[in-house]
Every structure is written in structure tokens, then in C-alpha cells.
Amino acid sequence: MPPIVPPMPEVMTVLGPVSTADLGVTDAHDHLFLRSPALPGQDFDDVEGAIEEVAGSDLETVVEVTPIDLGRNPAGMREVSERTGVHIVAATGYHRDAHYPPGHWVHSATVRQLADRMLADLEDGMDGDSARAGVIKAGASYQRITPSEGRRMIAAAAACKETGAPILVHTEIGTMGLEIVDLLTREGVAPDRIILAHLDRNPDLELHREIADRGVWLEYDTVGRIKYRPDSQLLDLIASGLQERMMLGLDLGQRDYFRAYGGGPGLGYLMNTFVPRLRRRIGDDAVRGILVENPARAFAITKP
Ligand SMILES: [Zn+2]
């Protein structure tokens, strides 16, 4: 009788399941298409522009976390992936309140309706396209989780428990991390299914250690956002610890952040500018852990 070999875990990309072993260097938080009333004049929706950015990025996987009703483009993501050979993991789920004006259906939908929409994206495909989502987005406001955000988070927990897809949560300026973990774990989500984004906006290592001790994943994803702080401070933070729970991204969420639209730093910034500095600080093995091994574990679909 042949030995029973456990199946290799997989990540769901817009072109279908991919073995975690094939994910490679991963930008754990970015955008290729986005349109939000919270960011007027900053829409970006050009497939050729996205291809130019991705092709010059030296990345092997991009986690594209544009959620429901914010300009997400499943067919565009498939085309970018097909033409560049770069894996793209798309998101279902919902952002924080600021991106959904009063009267938007997400505010009146029931938890079950919110969850069912996510399950359809994860299991059947998004917005009538064959591309399936591979991660669940959620979001909280600055210093609070509003009632509407709380309902969407509870729905995200239900979708996570039913599919094994991870939940990636937007924190506003790095606040509410522990409260988000409390809410999701109270709903029965395993800590290793939770990824907290934008923690580097509040570069408080003691707080990050406390969050990491809960067993969740941390994202430092404002690399190259010099208006927030110099990259040197981010290099110090990464070198100080928590590398075993950490992932990186650029979170290019505005048109002005892309070279293809005449701005910067552009999607090539992570590998071409920041990572060479990071290698000199922490060495190749630690960089590989952050860019390859941690995302392979965090974004794996862990069948419940
Ligand atoms: Zn983002």
C-alpha cells in the first residue's frame, strides 16, 4: 500500500490553485486596480499600466487586496497574470467605512448576506468572472471598529471558517490590532488565519510583539512611503525582531504611487530598492523567510 502523503497546501490565485512551494517572492499587500470615493482623482484601472508595473517588479506573487465594490478587476488581474507570469492572489471582503458612503448596501446587509457574497467570490469566482478570490479583506477605522465594520468582520470570520482562506485586516494607522484579534478569535477564527496590515504606520515594537505573541501575522506594508518616515526607520524595526511573523508590501493604493501613471515609488521599489538594503541588514535567509516562507504559510488555504 502506498504511503499516505498529505496534500501540498495551496494558495488560490486568479488563474487557479498554486502550490505554496511555487509562490516565491511575495508582495503581501498591493493594488493593481482601485476606485474609491475616499480617494478622489486617485483611481487606477489601466491593464497595460498594471502589466508594466508587475513586469518590472521582480516579484513572483502579488497579493492584490482591492475588496468588493472598490474597482476590483478580476478579468484585468487574470490578464496581468497571464501576460507577466506573476501569480496574483485576489481579495474578497470589505474595507473600512470610509470607502463605503452612507446608503451603500454593505451598511444594511445582514451578516449572512455579507458572508454569502464572500463565499461566492472564494468558491465560484468574482463579479461574473472565473477568477476566484484567495484572501478575505476586512477593515477598521482609526481607534475604533464601527458597528458596520464589526458586522463585516463577523461575516469575514464566517467565510474564513467555511473556506480556510486567511483574513487580511486593514488597520488605520496601526490602531485596534489587539481588538481586531480579539473579535475574530472570539468568532472562532484561528490566529494563524489572521493578517494585520499597516502595523508599520505605528512603529511600536512592544505593541507589535504583543500582537505577534497572539499567533497572528504582521504586515509592514508601507515600504517606500517616505512621507510617513524614512525607510531607515523601517529597516531598524524589521531588524529588531518579529521576522518569523512578518510580511512586506508596498500598498500602492493611489494612482500617484505608480511609475506607469507618472508617479512613484512604483511596484519595482520593494525588490529593486528596499530589499537590497534589507539583505545587508538581516541577511539572505531572514529576507527569504519574510518574502517567501511566511507568505506561503499565511496565504495557504487551510481546509477546515
Ligand atoms: Zn491596501
CB 70 within 8 A of CB 100: no
How far, in Å, from the CA of 88 to the mean position of ligand 1?
15
How far, in Å, from the CA of 99 to the mean position of ligand 1?
12
**Of residues 127, 112, 125, the one with CA closest to residue 162:** 112
Listed in sequence order, the residues at least 6 apart from 107 whose beta carbon sits closer than 8 Å to its beta carbon are 97, 100, 148
The pLDDT value recorded for residue 286 is 98
- The arithmetic mean of pLDDT across residues 238-247, rounded, is 95
How far, in Å, from the CA of 199 to the mean position of ligand 1?
12
How far, in Å, from the CA of 252 to the mean position of ligand 1?
7
How far, in Å, from the CA of 29 to the mean position of ligand 1?
6
Within 10 angstroms of residue 86's Cβ, the number of other Cβ atoms is 22
CB 6 within 8 A of CB 38: no
**Of residues 145, 279, 297, the one with CA closest to residue 216:** 297
How far, in Å, from the CA of 221 to the mean position of ligand 1?
8
- Does the pLDDT value for residue 5 go beyond 70? no
- The arithmetic mean of pLDDT across residues 74-88, rounded, is 98
- Residue 162 CA to its chain's centroid (Å): 19
How far, in Å, from the CA of 208 to the mean position of ligand 1?
19
How far, in Å, from the CA of 215 to the mean position of ligand 1?
22
The pLDDT value recorded for residue 304 is 65
